[in-house]
Structure 1
């Protein structure tokens, strides 16, 4: 995604949307609701309870970035998230 596309998207945002800053890129957070198999939920819950640096949001975000990167996404933000998660930055 080009920087000017990010600027355009942020100009169109409503004032009540949540904004997060990661590195020098501005990212917009959204809520996501999904049904997952109970076994995956239990595994996620166990992982999070044993790793203080992780929470549900970070885990899901990391999993999505991993999937997109490994399936050919060429978006710079996806690649950056994927690499940061690999090196625990």
Structure 2
């Protein structure tokens, strides 16, 4: 099981509102996934090649809801 660390941060109000609007329009995202994807994306774009960072970066881009996976038909 991966280790998680809680982080407290202050955001500009307009950024916080934009994050809330994005999450409201994309219910498969939550604040935790969004922040993890943003941090991993920033680190990856800055040249970080650690496997765990790349995994989080790609996972943030391509992860689907559990419900979507349960109703999806297998590829043949």
Q: CA RMSD in A?
A: 1.3
Unpaired runs of at least 5, structure 1: 1-20, 22-26
Query: How far did 1:85 drift?
Result: 2.2
SS in 2 for 1:28: coil
Alignment of 1:56-71 (within 5 A): 56-71=31-46
TM-score for both structures, normalised by structure 1:
0.65
Q: Which residue of 1 aligns with 2:55?
A: 80
Unpaired runs of at least 5, structure 2: 65-76
Higher strand share: 1
Deviations along 1:3-28, whole A, 9 cap, x unmatched?
xxxxxxxxxxxxxxxxxx4xxxxx21
- Give runs of ≥4 in structure 1 deviating > 6 Å: none
Q: Is the 8 A contact 2:23 2:29 kept in 1?
A: yes
Q: Which residue of 2 aligns with 1:34?
A: 9
> Greater relative contact order (Cα 8 A, min sep 6): structure 1 or 2?
2
TM-score for both structures, normalised by structure 2:
0.75
